[in-house]
Structure 1
Amino acid sequence: MGINQNYKLNIIQWYPGHIAKAEKNLKEQLKSVDVVLEVRDARIPLSTRHPQVPEWVGSKARVLVLNRLDMVSPQVRQLWTNWFKNQGEEPYFTNAQQGQGVAAVSKAAQAAGVAVNQRRKSRGMLPRPIRAVVIGFPNVGKSALINRLVGRRVVESAARPGVTRQLRWVRISQDLELLDAPGVIPAKLEEQEAALKLAICDDIGEAAYDKQLVAAAFVDILNHLYATAGDVLPDCPLRSRYELDSTSYTGESYLHALAELRNQGDLERTASQLLTDFRKGLLGTIPLELPPQ
């Protein structure tokens, strides 16, 4: 990935107690659902995949949701769709803030749960609504997706007997119920490069990290993508926005040059500006990952 070796230092610190609690809650939630909606960030579909998800989800049906479709170009979406289909998965792209793609996710969740009621029927039991939960990293858009799925079609919201009281189910349709609290994937990653991308995209939740290192890493990743797949990226986003091209710099030296040019050498302010502009989409539709060749 052409990333400076300094990043091997653990620049991102998580809080272990917080993680243990999140993991316990997640396992509790997963016991009582039929279908798991796993939400990832469309800019970093691989880094927002938690290595333990298959183990946690087990044999339950899973629907893959790639949120923030507005932050990547249609061309990049197509590349990921093809790649995931080759892996035997169908990704559903959404913009949960605006509601795009959400109806298809609701349908997919119902379809994924059909087998549950077939099993119930074969045992002489009556069908019941499929129960789903939304899981994913802290800021990937889980709550927005839940709000969109629930919409104004809430028929009832009831704590089920026999299920921990905090689990509240919202009836979305005759056939689907949703746990109204998202399941948070604990974000302790051994993989620092994935952790960096989570920090750049602001998907990391409660963690401490060095903004300047993260902003410099962002520029390094961008330069690397331009060198390897420039045709699917917007044209010179940093030059367009800041009148300073990054390709002849390392991430760190670019940060210094940009700080001199725009903020009287204030590195912290420059790092914040770079990250905020990227997160708000002001640099254009920039993916930080493309499908592995």
Structure 2
Amino acid sequence: MGLTDNYKLNLIQWYPGHIAKAEKNLKEQLSRVDVVFEVRDARIPLATHHPQIDEWVGSKTRVLVINRLDMIPAQVRSLWVDYFKNRGETPYFTNAQHGQGVVAVSKAAQAAGVELNQRRRDRGMLPRPVRAVVIGFPNVGKSALINRLLGKRVVESAARPGVTRQLRWVRISDQLELLDAPGVIPAKLGNQEAAVKLAICDDIGEASYDNQLVAAALVDLLTSLEEQAGELLPKSPLYARYELDPIPHTGEGYLHALAEHRYKGDVERTARQLLTDYRKGFLGTVPLELPPM
């Protein structure tokens, strides 16, 4: 029984107009870029992988940045490191809000620059700063990463896709220029399961979805992760927070029971609270994906 089998409707809608425009701008600029930083969310590193990124990156250097490392247990992080290394990728884990791991990301870009300029010299051309772009879903922490790389606040973080306005180049150092690109969402996300995870983690920007369905999906997901790999998660995150055991309930049933137990029967308020608690880390360091074994 998959996570979304209960939700046979198209759960999440977003606005392809915004997205098409952001994507077109990005594609136009990509020809001028040497290095692509792909930023993903440590809680859902697979769901935050943009399906078109491979065709966008082509033969350029890609640096895989997995942000919000503070939101998953250390043990889960090491499993992801092994998973990506087995696929020939080096993940750089960061907590961009606090600057953790950012120096390594900057060094990876500079290493790409050294290679680029060696090739330019071999062809009798002058060296130039390496041009990088940061790509990822809205809200995964791109602006925080750019601000950390710069060492000052220049980029306004914004939850709405397309709010990172027109594309602009930001010079980080003599060696590095950065293109500040808006959050890109696939124009259609065929995989509703991934869409639900994006909504739970608030990595989807300005989409419309039903809080109650998404909160119920979160409860179902936590229950199934506990069954699969309880040893990797904080113990009974929902029980620890709300003193109500999810085990006898479906996600939807739990939402209603919790509303009665805590919020005077207000299911919508309960759903919002649950999602907020998860997003703020009040349920503990709980990943929503584990590496496929």
TM-score range, shorter chain: over 0.9
SS where residue 177 of structure 2 aligns? strand
**2:288 maps to what in 1?**
288
Q: Which amino acid aligns with 2:91?
A: P
Q: Secondary structure at the match of 1:177?
A: strand
Q: What CA distance in whole angstroms lies between the structure 1 residues aligned with 2:90 and 2:18? A: 32
CA contact (8 A) 1:13 1:208 kept: yes
Match of 1:15 in 2: 15
Change in CA separation of 1:167 and 1:196 when aligned onto 2, cut-off 3 Å: closer
- Equivalent-residue separation in structure 2 for 1:182 and 1:59 (angstroms): 20
Query: Any unmatched runs of 5+ in structure 2?
Result: 155-165
1:142 matched to which residue of 2? Answer: 142
Structure 2 residue 224 is matched with structure 1 residue 224: yes
TM score, norm. by length of structure 2 = 0.92
Alpha-carbon contact 2:25-2:167 (below 8 Å) kept: no
Q: TM-score, normalised by structure 1?
A: 0.92
Q: Does the CA-based 8 Å contact 1:7-1:192 persist in structure 2?
A: no
1:29 to partner: Cα distance: 2.4
Q: 1:129 to 1:272 in 2, by over 3 A?
A: same
Q: What is the CA distance between 1:103 and its match in structure 2?
A: 0.7
Q: 110-119 or 94-103: which moved more?
A: 110-119
Give the count of matched residue pairs. 281
Q: Confirm whether residue 123 of structure 1 aligns to residue 123 of structure 2.
A: yes
Aligned-partner residue type, residue 119 of structure 1: R
Tell me whether 1:186 sits opposite 2:219 in the alignment. no
Partner residue in 1 for 2:175:
175
The whole-number CA distance in structure 2 between the counterparts of 1:47 and 1:217 is 15
CA contact (8 A) 2:138 2:182 kept: no
**1: distance between equivalents of 2:244 and 2:34?**
51
Q: Give the direction of change, closer, same or farther, for the CA distance of 1:99–1:49 in structure 2 (3 Å limit).
A: same
- Given that 1:20 and 1:186 are in contact with CA atoms closer than 8 Å, whether structure 2 keeps it comes out as no
RMSD across aligned C-alpha pairs, in angstroms? 1.5
Task: For residue 49 of structure 2, give the secondary structure of its aligned residue in structure 1.
Answer: coil
Is 1:5 the equivalent of 2:5?
Answer: yes
Any residues of structure 2 matched to 1:87-166 within 5 Å, and which?
87-152=87-152
Partner-residue secondary structure (3-state), 1:8 = coil
Asked if structure 2 preserves the Cα contact closer than 8 Å seen for 1:66 and 1:94, the reply is yes
Report what 2:162 is aligned to.
none
Q: What amino acid does structure 2 have at the position aligned with 1:19?
A: I
Q: Distance in 2 between matches of 1:266 and 1:119?
A: 63
Q: What residue is the counterpart of 2:206 in the other structure?
A: 206
Query: Structure 1 residue 61: deviation in Å?
Result: 0.5
Question: Where in structure 1 are there 5+ consecutive unaligned residues?
Answer: 155-165
In 2, are the aligned partners of 1:8 and 1:192 still within 8 Å (CA)?
no
